[in-house]
Amino acid sequence: MTPEMSPVAEAHPGRPPMDLLRFATAGSVDDGKSTLIGRLLLDSKSIFEDQLEAVEATSHSRGYDYTDLALLTDGLRSEREQGITIDVAYRYFATPTRKFIIADTPGHIQYTRNMVTGASTADLGLVLVDARQGLTEQSRRHAVLLSLLRVPHLVLAINKMDLVDWSEEIYERIHDEFRQFATKLSIPDLVVIPISALKGDNVVTRSENTPWYHGPTLMHHLEHVHVASDRDLVDARFPVQYVVRPKSDEYHDYRGYAGQVAGGVLKPGDEVVVLPSGMTSTIEAIDLFDQEIDEAFPPMSVTVRLADDVDVSRGDMIARVRNAPKPSQDIDAMVCWMTNEPLRPRQKLAIKHTTRMGRTLVKDIQYRLDVNTLHRDQETKALGLNEIGRVQLRTTVPLLCDPYSKNRTTGSFILIDEGTGVTVGAGMINSGA
């Protein structure tokens, strides 16, 4: 089973890959996550000779009898010295069909914070378990977090199958147990793959050791999983980022609203409302650099011009007249807390939602969610580091938001400590107030 035989051996042709997939990896320490990522990079020919040679040399000098692929993804020196990974790292590889961005989240103390960060932009979550141990409390937590962050696709990779004699029974048992647990979560798409990251089985190349397995290899699934339909193309949402005013002779009267489409499809001629003011107008034109285009959809960055001289500034949102979010200062959200000093009622924070900055008061902490058991603890009136809870906020400015379950862009926000400027919380807005 050599990588040469693999379907991705022809990676990096002159043509760029057409598509992009962002995925987040999760696993407990020693489940083989670094080895798996190293394997994906190596077998997709994303590793250069000098990098591989360095890793081979290090493996040799440490007396290993195989090349430790985990060394390929080693991060910063201090971590290398401590032999641990402490922060989200991003890796890249490509096959002829897709480019991949991996958010590699480490598996220990700072876990929730890192995983929430990595999952926030992911289309797919990859959870690794050790076949010998089966599902652990940590694997369940990974699945809960991916579901909370509304990562639409999940892969459970059962690793180290070589150490359990490629047992179908073990695969089925872990599969069933997970499927049962997942019914309590929102996981629209689940695939369970038996692999050996170390030996490469079912990673890129189909394994001869698992004749009972008829699903895709991991790489095949990553290349073909359908993510385009995960976007909301119905509810037009355009948060205004920047007002373009050239003030030049040639473009004397030009006034455009630049931003990235967060939902729906915008077209010239659409009747729109500007929030929070509620003023209405019509889209006169949509500019993509020096071209006028017929349609704009997520995640395009465009500049919208309106037919009327309405007052629009950064932080406003352009939406359809009959399909607009209701401006609200009372926010009900799941918040992941990311700093040592706990979150408490009455606390004041800065909040950033789309392109809008404001301040907020914590009115109430309704419950703390135990991410291992899904138990709602209503006694606790504070959220500590790496804890998640349901929180009521009152903001100084109205937010133009949707439920996170409908739109991950207009449904999310960050909380910032006004004293230190540090990002201390991440919020996902619930439906209904």
Partner 1 sequence: MTAPPTHADYQLSQLDQLEAESIHIFREAAAEFEKPALMFSGGKDSIVMLRLAEKAFFPAKIPFPLVQIDTGLDFPEVLQTRDNWVSRLGARLIVASIDEAIRKGVVVDDGKTSRNRMQTATLLNCVEEEGFTAMFGGGRRDEEKARAKERVYSHRDDFGQWDPKNQRPELWSLYNGKLHGGEHMRIFPLSNWTELDIWHYLRQEGVELPSIYFAHARRVFKRDGMWMSESPQNPCREGEEVVERKVRYRTVGDLTLTGAVESDADTLDKIIDEIAIARVTERGATRGDDRFSEAAMEDRKKEGYF
Ligand X SMILES: Nc1nc2c(ncn2[C@@H]2O[C@H](COP(=O)(O)OP(=O)(O)O)[C@@H](O)[C@H]2O)c(=O)[nH]1
Note whether 366 binds partner 1 by CB under 8 A: no
Of 250, 32, 255, nearest to 133 (Cα)? 32
User: How far is the C-alpha of 109 from the C-alpha of 87, rounded, in Å?
Assistant: 11
Note whether 96 binds partner 1 by CB under 8 A: no
One residue of 60, 420, 431, 433 binding partner 1 per CB under 8 A: 420
Closest to partner 1 by CB, 114 vs 147, is: 114
Shortest Cβ distance from residue 202 to ligand X (Å)? 10
Which one of 113-121, 126-134, 172-180, 320-328 is the stretch in contact with partner 1 (CB under 8 A)? 113-121
Tokens of 185: 């979560």
Closest to ligand X by CB, 213 vs 404, is: 213
Note whether 29 binds ligand X by CB under 6 A: yes
Cis amide leading into 299 (omega within 30): yes
Site string for ligand X, 122-161 (x = CB under 6 A): -------------------------------------xx-
One residue of 10, 30, 308, 330 binding ligand X per CB under 6 A: 30
| Beta pairing partners, 260 | 301
Calculate the alpha carbon distances from 433 to 210, 380, 394 in Å. 50, 21, 11
Which one of 61-69, 96-104, 180-188, 207-215 is the stretch in contact with partner 1 (CB under 8 A)? 96-104
What is the C-alpha end-to-end distance of the chain, expressed in Å? Answer: 55
Note whether 92 binds partner 1 by CB under 8 A: yes
216 close to 224: Cβ distance less than 8 angstroms: yes
Note whether 359 binds partner 1 by CB under 8 A: no
Note whether 212 binds partner 1 by CB under 8 A: no
Burial class (CB in 10 A: 0-12, 13-18, 19+), 240: buried
Question: CB under 8 Å to 327, separation ≥6 — which residues?
Answer: 275, 276, 398, 399, 400
**172-211: contacts with ligand X (CB under 6 A):** 196-198
Closest to partner 1 by CB, 211 vs 299, is: 299
Note whether 251 binds partner 1 by CB under 8 A: yes
Widest distance between CA atoms in the chain: 75
Question: CB under 8 Å to 254, separation ≥6 — which residues?
Answer: 244, 245, 246, 305
Decide which of ligand X, partner 1, none touches 196; Cβ closer than 5 to 8 Å per partner kind: ligand X
Note whether 18 binds partner 1 by CB under 8 A: yes
One residue of 8, 22, 33, 319 binding ligand X per CB under 6 A: 33
Note whether 278 binds partner 1 by CB under 8 A: no
Please enumerate, as own/partner, the contacts of 365-370 that have beta carbons within 8 Å and a separation of 24 or more.
365/389, 365/390, 365/391, 365/392, 366/390, 366/391, 366/392, 369/334
One residue of 67, 167, 241, 380 binding partner 1 per CB under 8 A: 241
Angle at Cα 49 formed by Cα 43 and Cα 54, nearest 5°? 105
Shortest Cβ distance from residue 161 to partner 1 (Å)? 28
The binding site for ligand X (CB under 6 A) comprises 27, 29-35, 70, 159-160, 162-163, 196-198
